[in-house]
Amino acid sequence: MLKQLYTRPVYITTSFIVVEQILIGADMATRFKQEPTSRHKYKKASHLNDSTRNTPQMPSSSVQHPLSGLDNHQIPTQQSNQNSVFDQLGLSFWQRLSLKTKATTLAITLSTLPIIVLGATAYYITSKTITNNVTQQQQARAIALADQFDNFISQRYLDIQNLAQSSVLNDPTVRAVVSTQSKELSLEQYIKNNPGYDNIAVIDPAGQVILQTAGEGIANYSNVDYFQQSIQTKRPVVTPPRKSLLTGEYSIYAAAPVINTTTGEVFAVVRSRTPVQYFNEILHAEAKNLAQSGNRFGVEEYFAVNDLGKVVVAPTEHLDYIGEDAQAVFPRVAPRLINNTSVGSLIDRDRVERQQYLVAYTPIQQIESQTALNWSAMVALPTAQVFAARQGLFLPFFLGTTVFTILVGAIAAHLVNRALRPVVNASLAVQKLGEGNLNTRLSVQGKDELAVLGSNINVMANQLQSLLRQQEEVTEQAQLFADVTFRIRRSLNVDDILKTAVKEVRKVLKSDRVVIYQFNSDLSGTIVAEAVAPGWTQALSDTIDDPCFKDRHIQQYKNGRVRAIDNIHQAGLTDCHIKSLERFEVKANLVAPILKDNQLLGLLIAHQCATTRAWQQAEIDLFTQLATQIGFALDQAYLLEQVEKARAVAEEASGDQRQQKESLQQQLIGLLSDVEQAAQGNLTVRAEVTAGEIGTVADFFNSIIESLRQLATNVKTAASQVNFAVAENQGAMHQLADQASQQAEAIAHSLDSLAHMTDSIQAVAASAHQAAEVTRTASLTAQVGGVAMNHTVDSILNLRQTVATTAGKVRQLSESSQQISKVVSLINQIALQTNVLAINASIEANRAGEEGRGFALVAEEIGELASQSSAATKEIEQIVENIQRETVEVAHAMELGTNQVIEGTNLVEDTKKNLRKIFDGSRQIDQLVQSISHATIAQAQTSQQVTQLIKEIALISEQTANSARQVFGSLQETTTVAQQLQVSVGVFKVDDES
Amino acid sequence: MDIPILTPQLHQPKTSVGESYLRFQLNEDTPAVLLMKYVQEVLIISTGRITPIPNMPECILGLFNRRNRIFWAIDLAFMLTSQPVDASSQQYHVMIIRVGETPLSLIVREIKGTIRLVSDLQPLEEGTATIQPYLQGYIWQHQEKLLVLNAEAIVHSPSLYNY
């Protein structure tokens, strides 16, 4: 719904009525748009008026249209479904609100929102403008401050230049004339004339102070940078404010070379010192003046920050800021000052005072002929003061907007309330109708849509009432019908049915007389049942032969026609018909046919005798249905009567059968006496064959006796044949018995032979067992041999080990002897050297002459000993050589021994293999012998089984002999039986002759 | 095993009569002696210490240095018997002799030691022509024929100067 509001801005702005239309429903709104005239109607519509009740008196035809129109409006859910643009949740919440709330809310919102927005926007723009103004003003002041600072520095520059060019200093002639004291005096004078300087000094190029005003100064300037710079460049220099080494204050130093006017040499430097404090005071005095001279804000605070981020200029109230870090004072502004080239503003919180300041800052421009200063000027004002005007603006704006909003909202709410009242009333009425209070009506005024809606609701209520009444009547009739039908059908007797029917029908219709008129075969009729109110003529059993009636109407009644006549004199009846009716004082009548299988049984007739009567359709219907029910009941009753009749006919049929039974019994007795002799064995008797069933039995009987006779004859013949055959067989049976005993004997003989065979088999088994023993012994011996061989192999291996160890030892011996020979050769070498030394010693001794004679002798002896030891070593060498040779031989012998041992091992191994073969062979033999023994055992068992079998055969043959004897006995008995049979059969009389 | 030499009588007094000679083997089977008074020093040097000098007589093996003095190394065996000293040996036995002012180093097969001999020098028989000029004679001792060499003759040998 909101969406629609936005998509139709025309309605929003025009009037509340449009809003209402939209609120009433999207469809309605659409309809208004389609029928522009209806809006005017609506405007003129009067509200509900209690005095003029406009109850609906509309013709039914005119009701139809608004009803159908109303249907379209009574489906709000369908509407909302179509508006699928709404958020489902929002919609459900919105739907829960009452129409009035919705309309009021929307109206208030729409009327107040623009005012609030307008007020807020106006306030915002005004405040913004003020802020901008203030900021720009402050920025302008910051730039002015920077310029002022610049000027100040420039002033220093110009001053020092002037001073340097004063004749007192630079003209040598004047210099010479003027005394030092007067020079200093002139400088003091200069300071007085140009306030701001606290010290001026003249310094010679070596850095010594020549002249100086009051105030301290350092002794030697040769190391001071501006001093050096001014000498080098021969130009004036102004330093940025810096901390004075002496006073500790921030000061600006200016230095200029004093150039000899005649020679052009620099013979001194003049330098001035200005405390920044001075500049500071001037600046803030000016600021205060500015503030007092009608400026609306408070005193602005001026700051300057040097390239190191230290505050160097601060207002007199905040002199303690000087030397502080700008970061410590204005934390947000400080970072922007670094490398800043443009003017800017910022609101920052003074960290020291904890107060909000609007701070404008700008870099100080490059000072004339100076290097970049990289300083910044700042102008700060407390925001409370700056934005005082803005604060003052807020309250009037707020109050004005609020008051106006409330006013407009109230008007909107009132208007909505007025406009919605009829709709609410209609809604209430419909709700009451829904609760069942159908007497509720709306008072309708005017012709607008709401009036139409009201009248439609009224019509609807009326219709509902009448419909309800009809419904009740129908129900009542149905109940009545059910009761009557039940009573009629309670009995199965025709008379009872008819009587009950007329009584009940009269009760239901409240008529004066009800009769049932039954047609006779000649289409005349009789009144077979009647119920009449007391005081009126009785018509029961009256036969009415009405010629003017039967031809014309019977066919129509057969087709189910029901005839209702409100007044017999006005129904256009024939005179004879009226006359016959008047006989029973009839004024109005109602006739319905009673039909059964499309056959007209009779008529159900209700008469009104007192007055004429307008028959209601419901009464006619009920009457018709009752007539039909009476037809059904009669039908059933007739059916019952027919069944009763059929039963009576069936009982008559059963008398004839007894006579037939008696004649049959007599015939049976005759038959039995005929065949009596057959029981004594006379098969020649015959029964007499008569006509009828018993005759057939007798015929059967005769044929049975005939068959019996032939059977007896056959038995006789067979018995004699059996006697003959048995006599023949007796010889053969004898023979059979003899042969069976012979067979038994032969079998006993073969049993003996088998016993012999078993014995020999057992002997074979014993031999095999012995052979197995022998081979087992051989195998055992071979195994023992194998074990011994293993021992031998182990010994040989041990021997091999020992030999190998010995060889190792021998090798060690050889190595040792080699070492001995090495030592020996060393000794030999030593002996040789000793010999040489001895010779040399003796040579030396000889050379010494007589004194060295003794020494020479000793030397000779030493030489002798050396040669002896040499010889001894030679002998040792010989011996060692012998040892080595022998060890080599031993090693060789060892090797040979090892080879032999290996050979021996191989031989033993071969032997072992051979033994293994022997062992295997003996085992195979053992196995073979064992299998032989097994086979013999199996044989023995088999022979035993054979013996058993033969014994069984013997037994059987004996049994056979016995059986033969028994058969012989049986045969003899058979002969006896056959003879007895012959005698028995002889009793039957089969031939007439015998 | 019987080793009598291994147990020598260390302080056996010996006869110290006669001239003192240096005894050596000229080659395998030629013992020889030289008067001690000509001998300055004996020593054993490795063959590598002798530097061969080209264009010299065959008996001169080369030069060698001894206590900062240079000596000619003479193969005495080759000089006397035209048979070179055993070249397979790694050491040379050297005796430095001095006749007058001329020092000379003679390489022999083996220096045996000093010996004192009573001079019953016997003259040489003819036959051994090459060795003849350098001999004074021979002395029989312990069934050995010791050649007694003439030091002066060796020093002045023409084969040393004829080149």
CATH number of the domain at A279, please: 3.30.450.20
Residue A582 counted as domain residue? yes
Strands (E), A114-239: 199-203, 209-212, 237-238
Q: Please give the residue that has the higher pLDDT: either B13 or A741.
A: A741
Q: Are residues A527 and A616 in the same domain?
A: yes
* Mean pLDDT calculated for residue range A623-638: 82
Per-residue pLDDT at A158 = 82
Per-residue pLDDT at A6 = 44
Print burial letters for A319-350: b (CB count within 10 Å at least 16), e (below 16): eebbebebbebbeebbebbeeeeebbbeebeb
Write down the mean pLDDT value for chain B: 78
The greatest distance separating any two alpha carbons of chain B, rounded to the nearest whole angstrom, comes to 57
Residue B120 counted as domain residue? yes
Give tens-digit pLDDT for A176-187: 777 777 878 888
Smallest CA-to-CA distance from A940 within A808, A811, A768 is with A768
Whether the per-residue pLDDT at B77 is higher than 50: the answer is yes
Q: Are residues A238 and A351 in the same domain?
A: yes
Give tens-digit pLDDT for A758-778: 888 888 888 888 888 888 888
The one-letter code for the residue type at A986 is: G
Whether the per-residue pLDDT at A59 is higher than 50: the answer is no
Look up the CATH number of the domain holding residue B142: 2.40.50.180
Q: Given strand B102-108, what is the order of strands in its sheet? A: B39-46, B91-99, B102-108, B69-75, B60-66
Whether the per-residue pLDDT at B121 is higher than 80: the answer is no
Q: Which two tokens stand for residue A335?
A: 């970072």
Instruction: Say how many domains are in chain A.
Output: 3
Residue B108 counted as domain residue? yes
Print burial letters for A449-475: b (CB count within 10 Å at least 16), e (below 16): bbbbbbbbbbbbbbeeeeeeeeeeeee
Do the beta carbons of residue A279 and residue A297 sit within 8 Å? no
Q: Is the dihedral of CA B106, B110, B112, B115 positive or negative?
A: negative
Please judge whether A867 and B16 are an interchain contact, meaning their C-beta atoms are less than 8 angstroms apart.
no
Min CA distance, A897 vs chain B (Å)? 30
Residue B14 counted as domain residue? no
Q: Which helix (H) or strand (E) covers residue B60, if one does? A: strand B60-66
Give tens-digit pLDDT for A338-392: 777 777 887 877 777 777 788 888 887 655 555 556 778 888 877 777 777 777 7
Q: What percent of chain A has pLDDT over 70?
A: 86
Look up the CATH number of the domain holding residue A619: 3.30.450.40
Residue B3 counted as domain residue? no
Smallest CA–CA distance from A842 into chain B, residue: B114
Q: Are residues A414 and A498 in the same domain?
A: no
Question: How many A×B Cβ pairs under 8 Å?
Answer: 64
Residue A135 has φ and ψ, to the nearest 5°, of -60, -45
Say how far apart CA A738 and CA A742 lie, in whole Å. Answer: 7
Whether the per-residue pLDDT at A737 is higher than 70: the answer is yes
Chain B residues in contact with A875 by the CB 8 A cut-off are 3, 5-6
Residue that finishes a domain, picked among A615, A647, A679? A647
Whether the per-residue pLDDT at A674 is higher than 60: the answer is yes
Smallest CA–CA distance from B40 into chain A, residue: A843
Residue A618 counted as domain residue? yes
Residue of B16, B22, B114 for testing the chain A interface, max A β-carbons within 10 Å? B114
Please judge whether B42 and A843 are an interchain contact, meaning their C-beta atoms are less than 8 angstroms apart.
yes
Give tens-digit pLDDT for A793-820: 888 888 888 888 988 888 898 888 889 8
Min CA distance, A844 vs chain B (Å)? 8
Whether the per-residue pLDDT at A992 is higher than 70: the answer is no
Please report, for residues A777, A796, A928, the alpha-carbon distance to residue A916 in angstroms, rounded to integers and kept in the order given: 15, 20, 18
Q: What percent of chain A has pLDDT over 90?
A: 1
**Chain B from 46 to 75: CB within 8 A of any A CB:** none
Domain residue limits at B124: 24-161
Whether the per-residue pLDDT at A48 is higher than 60: the answer is no
Residue that finishes a domain, picked among A391, A411, A432? A391
Q: Are residues A239 and A382 in the same domain?
A: yes
Per-residue pLDDT at B15 = 52
Say which of B10, B40, B44 has its CB closest to residue A836: B44
Q: Are residues A109 and A167 in the same domain?
A: no
Q: pLDDT band at A403, cuts 50/70/90?
A: very high
Q: Please give the residue that has the higher pLDDT: either A291 or A836.
A: A836
Chain A residues in contact with B113 by the CB 8 A cut-off are 835, 838-839, 860, 863-864, 866-867
Q: Is A866 on the interface with B (CB under 8 A)?
A: yes
Per-residue pLDDT at A294 = 55
* Mean pLDDT calculated for residue range B130-159: 81
Please report, for residues A156, A222, A252, A851, the alpha-carbon distance to residue A198 in angstroms, rounded to integers and kept in the order given: 13, 21, 11, 117
Residue B37 counted as domain residue? yes
Q: Are residues A506 and A605 in the same domain?
A: yes
Per-residue pLDDT at A379 = 81
Residue B31 counted as domain residue? yes
Q: pLDDT band at A18, cuts 50/70/90?
A: very low
Q: pLDDT band at A2, cuts 50/70/90?
A: very low
* Mean pLDDT calculated for residue range A56-67: 41
Q: Are residues A331 and A270 in the same domain?
A: yes
Q: Is A949 on the interface with B (CB under 8 A)?
A: no
The greatest distance separating any two alpha carbons of chain A, rounded to the nearest whole angstrom, comes to 228
Q: How many CB atoms lie within 10 A of CB B134?
A: 19
Per-residue pLDDT at A407 = 92
Whether the per-residue pLDDT at A31 is higher than 50: the answer is no
Q: pLDDT band at A44, cuts 50/70/90?
A: very low
Q: Are residues A312 and A426 in the same domain?
A: no
Per-residue pLDDT at A676 = 75
Residue A477 counted as domain residue? no
Min CA distance, B41 vs chain A (Å)? 5
Whether the per-residue pLDDT at A35 is higher than 50: the answer is no
Domain residue limits at A315: 142-391
Residue A947 counted as domain residue? no
Chain B residues in contact with A860 by the CB 8 A cut-off are 14, 16, 20, 113-114, 116
Q: Are residues A183 and A241 in the same domain?
A: yes
Smallest CA-to-CA distance from B116 within B61, B59, B37 is with B37
Residue of A825, A828, A836 for testing the chain B interface, max B β-carbons within 10 Å? A836
Q: pLDDT band at A3, cuts 50/70/90?
A: very low
Smallest CA-to-CA distance from B37 within B27, B22, B23, B24 is with B22
Please judge whether A860 and B8 are an interchain contact, meaning their C-beta atoms are less than 8 angstroms apart.
no
Whether the per-residue pLDDT at A34 is higher than 50: the answer is no
Q: pLDDT band at A308, cuts 50/70/90?
A: confident
Per-residue pLDDT at A966 = 87
Per-residue pLDDT at A90 = 56
* Mean pLDDT calculated for residue range B58-73: 86
Q: Which helix (H) or strand (E) covers residue B141, if one does? A: strand B135-141
Residue that finishes a domain, picked among A647, A676, A695? A647
* Mean pLDDT calculated for residue range A433-447: 78
Q: pLDDT band at A735, cuts 50/70/90?
A: confident
Print burial letters for A656-670: b (CB count within 10 Å at least 16), e (below 16): eeeeeeeeeeebeee
Whether the per-residue pLDDT at A199 is higher than 50: the answer is yes
Residue A446 counted as domain residue? yes
Residue A626 counted as domain residue? yes
Instruction: Say how many domains are in chain B.
Output: 1
* Mean pLDDT calculated for residue range A623-639: 83
Q: Please give the residue that has the higher pLDDT: either A329 or B70.
A: B70
Residue A657 counted as domain residue? no
Determine which of A151-160, A229-238, A369-378, A952-961 has the lowest per-residue pLDDT on average: A369-378
Whether the per-residue pLDDT at A598 is higher than 70: the answer is yes
Write down the mean pLDDT value for chain A: 77
Q: Is the dihedral of CA B86, B89, B95, B96 positive or negative?
A: positive
Q: Are residues A108 and A22 in the same domain?
A: yes
Residue of A835, A853, A880 for testing the chain B interface, max B β-carbons within 10 Å? A835
Q: Are residues A616 and A515 in the same domain?
A: yes
Residue A664 counted as domain residue? no
Q: Are residues A206 and A117 in the same domain?
A: no
The one-letter code for the residue type at A902 is: I
Per-residue pLDDT at A33 = 42
Determine which of A72-86, A659-673, A758-772, A955-969 has the lowest per-residue pLDDT on average: A72-86
Q: Is A368 on the interface with B (CB under 8 A)?
A: no
Q: pLDDT band at A58, cuts 50/70/90?
A: very low
